[in-house]
Amino acid sequence: MHLPGRKKRLLRPSLDASPAPPNTGYTNFLKGLLSDQIQAFPPPVRPPTDCSNNPYILGGVFTVQHESRALQDSEQRLSVLLQSLEQVVWFANMDGQMLYINEAAERIYGRPVAEFYDNPTIWLEAVDPRDRQAAEKSIADLAETGTAEAEYRIVRPDGQLIWLHDRKYLVPHKSGAPQSICGIASDVTARRELQEKEAQLEHVARLTSMGEMLASIAHEINQPLAAISNYSTASSNLLANFEAGDTAKLKEWNEAIVNQTTRCSAIIRGLRDFSKQGQGEAILLDVDEVIRESVSLILADARFHAVNIQSDLQSHQGLTRGNRTQLQQVFVNLLRNACEAVATCNQTLRLVTIRSQIAGDNVEVVVKDNGPGIDTQIRDALFEPFVSSREDGLGIGLVISRSIAEKHGGQLWVTPDVADGAEFCLTIPLAPEST
């Protein structure tokens, strides 16, 4: 075994102070160590002794004690840190038996920490039945990929619902095989409740838009209904005095009835989908297709106000990942604002244009009108709540539209210093599948 540390400081005082050490051979051996002529102890016949013939041990005792204290201090600091976290932090073996869980589990789950050690499946039993599938899928994902992430609700013993963002990881052994599981669970109830309130506000805004367009929607539906009525009456009259040559005419009128019915159904279906409540899932969307759907929703209102809408869609199937209804809401709001602005003018041509193009890693959508423009006094405040350029406007449409754009990773702004009318620009990131 090697002599640790500073040999001369440890050995020289006892050697110099001893006029006649009883173990001369061992003293010479120690002097050899001081002169670096001997580097290690041979197996001793008997323990070394000091000047009073008391045995002592040379070795790493002091180092081990020091390292042990350092390890204890480190463990204590780590324990204090883990216990101070608001998130649940836990470790378990591969059978799911809990090895460690911090006190946040009791605050969030409303159950004593001891229950997590006694019952390895208690966390799954606490999951709301509506979200059980999502929680179980996270277990399957963990086994397949080594990591898992999910959000689900748990039910506390007092009945309170808590939203959790749960992350799990397999901890590998140095051999590469997994040896344990660790995880972090965060209480995201406040965020989920805020998202729900935002979704409700968006829904109210959509219903408000539909209410404001009610007259034009009724007019738009009334046209195909009137055509259906006329064709039906004509068909009935023809059948009353049917002749062999009338078959082709009846077939033509019947097709016209079918076409007008389909037109009515499309209008109603579009309005129904637009008015649905719920956040929906982010899916891969063709931005130009969503714009065309939005134009069809606003077309009745545009015709009612004698406004011409022109589309110049050049994003060439630019794909983004997002919520169809939310993006429709943005486009419908911008188009309706433009139509209402133009309708106040005594223009021969009331024109609103919407165009799209690929701009770098984004799809850029621009809505422009040839109306009176935006007063500079309110232009900078347009995206603040309850600020509107219309006297009867609620002032929440643009606020919601910008919020939706930002949730999709995009931006929405008004173009300053436009020569005539107003112009709004929206950018939405392209999905990786589209680049």
Quote the tokens at residue 395: 């002032």
264-319 pLDDT, tens digit per residue, is 777 777 677 766 665 567 889 999 999 998 898 888 788 888 899 999 998 877 89
Cα separation, 256 vs 228, in Å, equals: 8
Contact by Cβ (8 Å): 108, 123: no
H-helix or E-strand spanning residue 210:
helix 189-212
Split at pLDDT 50, 70, 90, the class of 137 is: very high
Cα separation, 327 vs 304, in Å, equals: 24
Determine how many CB atoms are found less than 10 A away from the CB of residue 242. Answer: 11
pLDDT of residue 64: 56
**pLDDT at position 144 over 60:** yes
How many angstroms separate the Cα of 144 from the Cα of each of 169, 263, 344? 11, 49, 61
How is the beta sheet containing 88-93 ordered, strand by strand? 98-101, 88-93, 178-187, 161-172, 147-155
pLDDT of residue 214: 67
pLDDT of residue 258: 80
Contact by Cβ (8 Å): 319, 284: yes
Identify the CATH assignment for 197-434 out of 1.20.58.710, 3.40.190.290, 3.30.365.10, 3.30.565.10. 3.30.565.10
The stretches of 4-159 forming alpha helices (DSSP H) are: 7-17, 24-34, 61-84, 104-109, 113-118, 122-125, 132-145
pLDDT of residue 397: 77
Residue with the bigger pLDDT between 10 and 162: it is 162
For the chain, give the percent of residues with pLDDT over 70. Answer: 71
Average pLDDT over residues 111-115: 92
Domain 65-187: CATH superfamily is: PAS domain (3.30.450.20)
User: Does the CA dihedral 51-54-59-64 come out positive or negative?
Assistant: negative
Contact by Cβ (8 Å): 335, 294: yes
pLDDT of residue 126: 94
For the chain, give the percent of residues with pLDDT over 90. Answer: 30
Total number of residues shown for the chain? 435
Facing residues of 76 across strands?
none
Cα separation, 262 vs 211, in Å, equals: 23
List the one residue out of 291, 419, 435, 420 whose CA is nearest residue 355.
Answer: 291
Average pLDDT over residues 47-75: 63
14-41 pLDDT, tens digit per residue, is 444 444 444 455 455 444 544 544 444 5
Helix count (H) and strand count (E) of the chain? 14, 12
Contact by Cβ (8 Å): 156, 110: yes
User: Does the CA dihedral 288-289-292-297 come out positive or negative?
Assistant: negative
Average pLDDT over residues 158-170: 94
**pLDDT at position 237 over 50:** yes
How do the domains of the chain map onto residue ranges?
7-59, 65-187, 197-434
Do 197-434 and 65-187 have the same topology in CATH?
no
337-371 pLDDT, tens digit per residue, is 898 888 887 777 889 999 999 999 999 999 999 88
pLDDT of residue 227: 74
Average pLDDT over residues 63-73: 64
H-helix or E-strand spanning residue 353:
strand 351-359
From the centroid of its chain, how far is CA 404? 13
Which residue type, as a one-letter code, is found at position 111? R
